[in-house]
């Protein structure tokens, strides 16, 4: 028989054909202010303990993540049965949609928000219904509720604080959606350690509420990929059905356990990151013609006159910021996260310089 000419592209699922892959920049030589990470090194004792561990890498990890779930249970004050661990919270978004989404079902989101929700919806054939934030960057609770009440709507994701705007939504608005929609309401609390606001106490009375958390931000473990979901044990058991058996490796599980033992050191880092974020916010607000949005997280969204030009100028000076492109409601914006104190000072110096170069002399103060 002759060789059959294969065209792999013709065999791709339609949902994947339409997909534009999520692009990330890897420029290790730059000062990274683009990914909302914790810029500080791990607490020394934690690092030493982790590297001294005798982990059996020739064996599969604990597929149930028992010790890590207990540690997370203690940290969040909920039963370990109400915890599900994931290979980053990204994976957990996918698992939620694999469980509750799918063909003929819809996910409700509030753009501008975290880009991965839409990508995982597409991958799971879930329709996306967008209810943009109001001009004030508040949730349009009425419209979200109306959308959530449609029979196809199965999942609502609220990002709180919201990436990229930095907004924190009132708990009463979120709880109204939880109580009145009856659908799965996911509250993505990736930045909760910075905002110090959480809906965890509400899990007890709401089986349709799930809370998504990560070790990537405040705990400085973006490179290890560790996230978790919190919910009532019965709801978590449903999502656990679609979880790959060994989704979190043994090194990351141990790192998560140790990080929670070094909570006091991390809390000091979080405090410092909050102070640095505030300094950046004050510094940016002094630059003429830059709109700076309030934030409850470790990042700041801002709008210079020429976002693309400024991102390029910053890169020339060694600072990698996130160019958000054209955001719904807000248009073109840039986002930065707090770096180390001297990096932040350097960033403010660079941005003052760029502003002076681009603002006509008669508009300078
Ligand atoms: C709101 C939000 N959720 C989830 C994530 C994903 O985090 P992880 O590193 O745990 O996959 C991010 C990362 O930027 C985020 O901003």
CATH code, domain carrying 205? 3.40.640.10
| 47: phi then psi, degrees, rounded to nearest 5 | -60, -45
> Around Cβ 14, how many Cβ atoms within 10 Å?
9
Residue 1 lies in a domain: no
Shared domain check, 327 and 188: no
Pocket mutation for ligand 1, best pick of 84, 87, 114 (most atoms within 8 Å of C-beta):
114
Shared domain check, 336 and 248: no
Domain count, the chain: 2
Considering the entire predicted model, what is its pTM?
0.95
Atom of ligand 1 nearest to the CA of 162: 1
Are 31 and 343 in contact by the 8 Å Cβ rule? The answer is yes
Q: Name which of 121, 142, 135 is nearest 330 in CA terms.
A: 135
Shared domain check, 326 and 269: yes
Shared domain check, 175 and 71: yes
Q: Which two tokens stand for residue 214?
A: 């990560």
User: Which of 262, 291, 308 is the C-terminal boundary of a domain?
Assistant: 262
Residue 120 lies in a domain: yes
* DSSP symbol at 2: P
User: Which of 211, 241, 262 is the C-terminal boundary of a domain?
Assistant: 262
Residue 328 lies in a domain: yes
pLDDT of residue 360: 56
Atom of ligand 1 nearest to the CA of 113: 1
pLDDT of residue 361: 52
Shared domain check, 122 and 92: yes
Q: Which two tokens stand for residue 11?
A: 């065999």
Shared domain check, 98 and 27: no
The dihedral sign for the CA sequence 245, 249, 252, 253: positive
Pocket mutation for ligand 1, best pick of 24, 190, 225, 300 (most atoms within 8 Å of C-beta):
190
Q: Which two tokens stand for residue 35?
A: 């990914």
Rounded mean pLDDT for each run of 10 residues along the chain, 365 residues in total = 86 86 82 97 96 96 97 98 98 98 98 96 96 97 98 98 98 98 98 98 98 98 98 98 98 98 98 98 97 98 97 97 96 98 98 86 52
**Who lines ligand 1 at CB under 6 A?**
36, 88-90, 114, 159, 163, 188, 190, 214, 216, 222, 227
- Ligand 1: which residue has its CA nearest to atom 16? 163
Shared domain check, 197 and 68: yes
pLDDT of residue 27: 85
d(CA 9, CA 21): 15
Calculate how far, in angstroms, residue 55's C-alpha sits from the geometric centre of ligand 1.
27
Would you mind telling me the total number of residues written for the chain in this entry?
A: 365
Residue 248 lies in a domain: yes
Residue 2 lies in a domain: no
Pocket mutation for ligand 1, best pick of 217, 230, 322, 335 (most atoms within 8 Å of C-beta):
217
Shared domain check, 69 and 55: yes
Burial of residue 133 (number of CB atoms within 10 Å: 0-12, 13-18, 19+): buried
| 282: phi then psi, degrees, rounded to nearest 5 | -65, -45
Calculate how far, in angstroms, residue 311's C-alpha sits from the geometric centre of ligand 1.
22
| 108: containing domain | 46-262
**Cis link prior to 317 (omega < 30° from 0)?**
no
- CATH number at 23 reads 3.90.1150.10
Residue 304 lies in a domain: yes
Shared domain check, 209 and 123: yes
Q: Name which of 328, 254, 322, 354 is nearest 30 in CA terms.
A: 322
Calculate how far, in angstroms, residue 353's C-alpha sits from the geometric centre of ligand 1.
32
User: Which of 236, 262, 288 is the C-terminal boundary of a domain?
Assistant: 262
Residue 3 lies in a domain: no
pLDDT of residue 363: 56
Shared domain check, 34 and 72: no
Shared domain check, 195 and 72: yes
pLDDT of residue 180: 98
* Rounded (5°) CA angle 254-188-236: 65
Shared domain check, 121 and 134: yes
Pocket mutation for ligand 1, best pick of 89, 169, 259, 300 (most atoms within 8 Å of C-beta):
89
Q: Name which of 267, 160, 161 is nearest 220 in CA terms.
A: 267
């Amino acid at each position: 028989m002759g060789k059959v000419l294969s065209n792999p592209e013709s065999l791709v699922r339609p949902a994947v054909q339409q997909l534009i892959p999520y692009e990330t920049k890897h420029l290790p030589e730059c000062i990274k202010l683009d990914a909302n990470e914790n810029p500080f090194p791990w607490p020394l004792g934690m690092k030493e303990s982790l590297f001294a561990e005798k982990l059996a890498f020739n064996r599969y990890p604990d597929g149930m993540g028992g010790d890590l779930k207990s540690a997370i249970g203690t940290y969040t004050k909920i039963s370990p049965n109400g915890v599900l661990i994931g290979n980053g919270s990204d994976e957990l978004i996918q698992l939620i949609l694999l469980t509750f989404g799918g063909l003929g079902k819809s996910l409700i989101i509030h753009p501008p928000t975290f880009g991965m929700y839409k990508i995982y919806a597409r991958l799971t054939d879930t329709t996306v219904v967008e209810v943009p934030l109001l001009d004030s960057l508040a949730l349009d609770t009425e419209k979200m509720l109306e959308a959530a009440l449609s029979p196809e709507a199965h999942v609502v994701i609220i990002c709180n604080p919201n990436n990229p705007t930095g907004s924190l939504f009132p708990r009463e608005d979120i709880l109204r959606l939880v109580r009145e929609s009856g659908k799965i309401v996911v509250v993505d609390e990736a930045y909760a350690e910075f905002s110090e606001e959480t809906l965890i106490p509400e899990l007890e009375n709401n089986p349709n509420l799930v809370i998504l958390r990560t070790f990537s931000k405040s705990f400085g473990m973006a490179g290890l990929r560790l996230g978790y979901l919190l919910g009532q044990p019965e709801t978590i058991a449903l999502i656990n059905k679609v979880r790959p058996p060994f989704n979190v490796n043994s090194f990351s599980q141990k790192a998560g356990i140790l990080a929670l033992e070094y909570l006091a050191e991390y809390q000091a880092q979080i405090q410092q990151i909050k102070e640095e974020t505030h300094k950046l916010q004050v510094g940016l607000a002094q630059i003429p013609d830059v709109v700076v949005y309030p934030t409850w997280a470790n990042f700041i969204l801002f709008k210079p006159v020429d976002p693309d030009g400024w991102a390029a100028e910053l890169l020339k000076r060694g600072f990698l910021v996130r160019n958000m492109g054209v955001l719904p409601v807000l248009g073109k914006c840039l986002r930065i996260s707090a770096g180390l104190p001297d990096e932040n000072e350097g960033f403010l110096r660079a941005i003052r310089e760029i502003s002076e170069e681009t603002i006509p002399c008669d508009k300078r103060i």
